[in-house]
Structure 1
Amino acid sequence: MSYRGRFAPSPTGLLHAGSLVAAVGSWLCARHAGGQWLVRMEDIDPPREVAGSAAAILGALPAFGLLADEPVIYQSSRVAAYAAAFEQLRKADLVFPCWCSRSDLAATGGIHRDGRCVARPDSQRTPAWRVRVADEAISFIDDLQGPQQQRLRDNVGDFVIRRVEGYYSYQLACVVDDAWQGITQVVRGSDLKDSTPRQIWLQRCLGLPTPRYLHLPLVLDAEGRKLSKSDRAREVDSSSPLPALHRALRFLGITPAETAVHPSALLEAALADFEPRRMTQCSDHRPA
């Protein structure tokens, strides 16, 4: 299969410096491999969405020279696919309903490890649904950060794939859509590296392929915290895109072409000397 990568923002705020780094990094990896770059809007958590942010993010990307090769996919239109995957897991007895409260799980640090609900079933309440995990290590090679390993049962436990409100989890939706879109490498921020073993577990349970993974260092704020749209991180200025694009490239370890006067030209110049493994030289640091 030819290379297919993606940028998958959530509409919880505007495009900020950290999101731009993820978008540029994934675009460069896709173009370096001679492959396709897709955009997917992960709008499956309505309570966390900020009105207008999906349109604002999608409107900003072309200003930075980032043009998707296929129409944007909205996860809100894919609920039937997530329901089908959930039903597949349910029929295989890989998931179970759970009425546990935080106090029920306090003794285990909030981690559910029993493979079944430890609380009394309550017909008056809608349960969450958790997927059972095995007591084994999940290993993968991060294309930037090297070998990774996590024991799901110890570190995460049986995790929720359908919430009490009926919303399907990020983990399930991401796995279903990466397989459906034929994604061959996931390039994203290191804040999502901890999700990768859970997603690999779901891929195994659903019989789906596992893509390669590359997790980029995080852009931090002045206090050393990860930039977050939900924390109202400052929006990058799409009306004057070159300064933010220069900073994103420098963060990724790329010296931008000072003579480029258009974002597309700047990206093409960066691509000419781009090698994904060189990004190992960059590390988490505050934006310029």
Structure 2
Amino acid sequence: MPATPYVGRFAPSPSGPLHLGSLLTALTSYLDAKAHQGLWLVRIEDIDPPREQLNADRTIIDSLKAHGLISDKPILYQSTRLAHYHSVIERLLEQDQAYRCICTRAQIKAAGGKYPGTCSMTKLTTTPSAVRYRNPCSITQFNDRFSGLITLSEHEFELEDITIQRKDGLFAYNLAVVLDDIEQGITHIVRGFDLLPTTIAQMNLWQYFSPQLPDYAHTPLLVSSPGQKLSKQNHASAIDNQHALDNVLLCLSLLKISISEASKQQGLSAVLQEAVACWQQGIHFPSHEIIVT
């Protein structure tokens, strides 16, 4: 039987423009897809309106295009999938695979920080309320392609029942990302190391909808100092599209990928092509964090 074709993706939220750290993640996911002769898709995860910036989606897409990173299929917006998320949650509630929860963060913190399942044995119809998926906890470890075996202890929050809809009515990231990855046929997920703590929870949710789990690989984070991630929340500077070649070369140098002068002279397309060839020979990340100044 032939191997399943590789389908990867980059899925930013439109909460601000791309910065160097998000470009590094986009580039690594792109290189991995192309090195496996696969498809690389872009999805805009716009399901949290309070955090979104006006026209940030267009800014992100324009930046990706300027850096030679173009989706192989039409870009999917999560906001077009709200009716589907709602129908899935209603089905899970009807099947008792999910339940409503009115516990507050303060109550959970007072219970030790890990949700103890307080509402799991009730049949609440109260609204507003969160909705939690009954986590089977059948997956407690996985092999990360870049970091090796990842194993949870019994105290990890990923073994909680998983919030799939927030009390304010917005759909939770863990549900939306799983449903959309399945819908788009994603087989390989390459994303930042900061998302590693959500992975096992997502796998336990994913297996309810599909037996074919994806391959996960988490890339190093760019930090300004140990533990200080470059992020929109930390006001990281937006990348300058006018210096796309320099930006890509900087990201490649951080990944310890050397590009020939000939490719640099030919331009961005040649640089990306050589980078894909280097990736095919194997990539070794220096650590879970890369300090940039």
Q: What TM-score, normalized by structure 1, do the two folds share?
A: 0.92
Residue of structure 1 in register with 2:278 after alignment? 273
**Which amino acid letter does the alignment assign opposite residue 134 of structure 2?**
R
Q: Distance in 2 between matches of 1:37 and 1:118?
A: 43
Q: Which of 67, 73, 78 lines up with 2:76 in the alignment?
A: 73
SS at the partner of 2:229? Answer: coil
**Which amino acid letter does the alignment assign opposite residue 244 of structure 2?**
P
Offset of residue 231 of structure 1: 2.6
Contact 1:104–1:119 (CA<8 Å) still a contact in 2? Answer: no
Q: Distance in 2 between matches of 1:169 and 1:127?
A: 13
Q: For 1:145-203, what per-residue CA distance to the aligned partner results, in whole angstroms no more than 9, with x for missing partners?
A: 11112257642422311011211111100000111100110000000111110110111
Q: Which of 83, 88, 102 lines up with 2:86 in the alignment?
A: 83
Residue of structure 2 in register with 1:131 after alignment? 133
Offset of residue 271 of structure 1: 1.3
Q: Which of 266, 269, 275 lines up with 1:264 in the alignment?
A: 269
Matches within 5 A, 1:89-238: 89-114=92-117, 116=119, 123=126, 125-134=127-136, 138-151=140-153, 154-156=156-158, 157-222=160-225, 224-238=227-241
Gaps of 5+ in 1: none
SS at the partner of 1:172? Answer: helix
Change (3 A) 1:150 1:224: closer
**Which amino acid letter does the alignment assign opposite residue 71 of structure 1?**
P
Change (3 A) 1:250 1:186: same
Q: For 1:87-140, what per-residue CA distance to the aligned partner results, in whole angstroms no more than 9, with x for missing partners?
A: 2322221211111112322332332122625999695x5111112224555211
Change (3 A) 1:115 1:186: farther
Offset of residue 208 of structure 1: 4.9
Q: Percent identity?
A: 36
Contact 1:10–1:41 (CA<8 Å) still a contact in 2? Answer: yes
Q: Which range moved further: 203-212 or 190-199?
A: 203-212
Change (3 A) 1:276 1:122: farther
**Which amino acid letter does the alignment assign opposite residue 267 of structure 1?**
L
Residue of structure 2 in register with 1:40 after alignment? 43
Q: For 1:38-86, what per-residue CA distance to the aligned partner results, in whole angstroms no more than 9, with x for missing partners?
A: 0000111101111121110001111111111111100011112212322
Q: Distance in 1 between matches of 2:180 and 2:32?
A: 19
Q: Distance in 2 between matches of 1:9 and 1:214?
A: 17
- The size of the alignment, in residue pairs, is 287
Superposition RMSD in Å? 2.2
Q: Which range moved further: 272-281 or 142-151?
A: 272-281
Change (3 A) 1:111 1:61: same
Contact 1:183–1:211 (CA<8 Å) still a contact in 2? Answer: yes
Divergent runs of 4+, >3 A: 117-123, 134-137, 151-154, 280-283
Residue of structure 2 in register with 1:64 after alignment? 67
SS at the partner of 1:273? Answer: helix
Change (3 A) 1:95 1:115: farther
Gaps of 5+ in 2: none
SS at the partner of 1:165? Answer: coil
Q: For 1:265-286, what per-residue CA distance to the aligned partner results, in whole angstroms no more than 9, with x for missing partners?
A: 1111111222374233454121
SS at the partner of 2:54? Answer: coil
Contact 1:254–1:270 (CA<8 Å) still a contact in 2? Answer: yes
Q: Which range moved further: 218-227 or 247-256?
A: 218-227
Q: For 1:9-53, what per-residue CA distance to the aligned partner results, in whole angstroms no more than 9, with x for missing partners?
A: 111111001110111101101100001100000111101111121
**Which amino acid letter does the alignment assign opposite residue 139 of structure 1?**
Q
1:14 aligned to 2:17? yes
Q: Distance in 1 between matches of 2:171 and 2:148?
A: 30
Offset of residue 244 of structure 1: 1.3
Q: What TM-score, normalized by structure 2, do the two folds share?
A: 0.90
Q: Distance in 1 between matches of 2:154 and 2:236?
A: 31
Q: Distance in 1 between matches of 2:93 and 2:111?
A: 25
